[in-house]
A and B are shown apart, each in its own frame.
Chain A
Amino acid sequence: MLDKSQQGLMLEMRRKLFGYACALSRDMSSAEDLYQETLLRAMSATAAPDNEVAYRVWMFRIMRNLWVDGLRAEGRLPEFDDSTEIDNLSANKGDDLVVNALAVRQAFQRLSKAHRDILALVDICGFSYADAAEMLDVPTGTIMSRMSRARAALTKLMQDEIKIVSLPLRRTQRKLGDKG
């Protein structure tokens, strides 16, 4: 049973937990189920870490294990490709473009499960590379490479969709405003 401090932490992190659930799941209904089941598992646990950082890792690990268990049951486990050279992925980096948040969201949903997992752990859940490495049981250097590959894959998807838009320059806006 969680003590008061742990319940408070759970309240604080619930948005990130649900965000992680949405990142892992392809539809909202599955995400809600994963989120609810994670909270129930945590609340009914007989023991939980006292340390705040360890407690966060523990909560997200419950969710990730539930997700992995579900995929394993369906024979669809995520696979990381740690062998691809990163430089090969970054030939066109979209450096000259200002990205559109909606395009990022759409491209994110089309990423592989493995890429969504690592991006969500670092960018949505806010874990350090060291924490993510502990959770995935891989070296920190591997997390560094996976983050690079995942962002390169996200950029490539956005370019494929041609949904990256350039924001107008402020000076252009001012000029148009002056004329208007």
Chain B
Amino acid sequence: MRPETSDRVLNAFIDGELSPAEVARISVVIADDPTLAQRVAHLHQIKAAVSAMPDDLVLPAPPMPRQDKKGKFRGVRALIAGCALLLAVFWSAPVTGPAYQDTASPFIGQHDHWVSQGAERDGVVLPESFDWLRPLMHASGLKLVHYSQEGNLQHFGFKGVNACRLSLFVSSEAAAVSPFQLSLTEQVQHAQWYIGTLAFDMIARDMAPVRFATVATALYHGSQDHAADEALQIAFLQAARLPCTA
């Protein structure tokens, strides 16, 4: 049954207020409905523009503390303490990621292995046949830092500015044909689709479900028709950037 796609639900979708199962159901509908995809892209853009409004603000000076005779230097002490705390926050150690969880997808193990090995470097070049990935992944805020090929399987590893890591596995000689499929939980996100003789599997951990779904939908469309709706997909991806939680 087609899930409800009212304005209320679509707004909750882009605000990350739906359960992973609901996000997956709606993402599948969006993938096959260009009108709905445009509606969601529009909401994403509105949200991104409103969210970015404070970025340009010049913060006013902090208020002067109310002094009494006994606490003449309380404000200075508070300011120093505040600065020290700010430095402490800045230098605090990163939080470690969640423990490995085996699941049905054979690609999750490969993704985790790549992340744990830290096999990343700058300047990784995309194979020419995957050049269509470049603008889409750039717009998503994820950078190619790993590429490997073993037999028929190609692995593209992407990295975000913080903890985000995303793997795209492409295997050839796919025998089956299936629609776009998404499996989203809080810990693991997996998308799968087939185009011709190619099978695409996209894996991430701890990525906001709506961001993962947006990237997966854009790549699904990009892999079908490399030139179709590129500007719209790019706007869509730029608006859906959310930090990973790991």
Report which A residues bind B (CB closer than 8 A): 4-5, 7-8, 10-12, 14-16, 18-19, 22-23, 32, 35-37, 39-40, 43-44, 86-87, 89-90, 93-99, 101, 104-105, 108, 119-120, 122-124, 126, 128-129, 144-145, 147-148, 151-152, 154-155, 167-171
Pair B39/A93 contact, Cβ less than 8 Å: yes
What residues on A are CB-neighbors of B78 within 8 Å? Answer: 7, 43
Q: How far is the CA of A147 from the CA of B8 in the complex (A)?
A: 8
Q: Is B234 an interface residue (CB 8 A)?
A: yes
Q: Is B125 an interface residue (CB 8 A)?
A: no
Closest-CB distance, B114 to chain A (whole angstroms): 30
Q: How far is the CA of A119 from the CA of B51 in the complex (A)?
A: 9
**Interface of B: prevailing SS:** helix
Report which of A95, A145, A169 forms a contact with B8, defined as CB distance below 8 A. Answer: A145
Residue of A with least CB distance to B10 = A148
Residue of B with least CB distance to A90 = B7
What residues on A are CB-neighbors of B4 within 8 Å? Answer: none
Q: Is B221 an interface residue (CB 8 A)?
A: no
Pair B60/A35 contact, Cβ less than 8 Å: yes
**Interface of A: prevailing SS:** helix
Q: Between A and B, how many residue pairs show CB distances below 8 Å?
A: 127
Residues of chain B in range 21-69 having any CB-CB distance to chain A below 8 Å = 35, 38-39, 41-43, 45-47, 49-54, 57, 59-60, 62-63, 65-66
Closest-CB distance, A8 to chain B (whole angstroms): 4
- When A40-B63, A151-B11, A170-B135 are in contact, do A16 and B52 touch as well, CB less than 8 Å? no
What residues on A are CB-neighbors of B46 within 8 Å? Answer: 99, 104, 151, 154-155
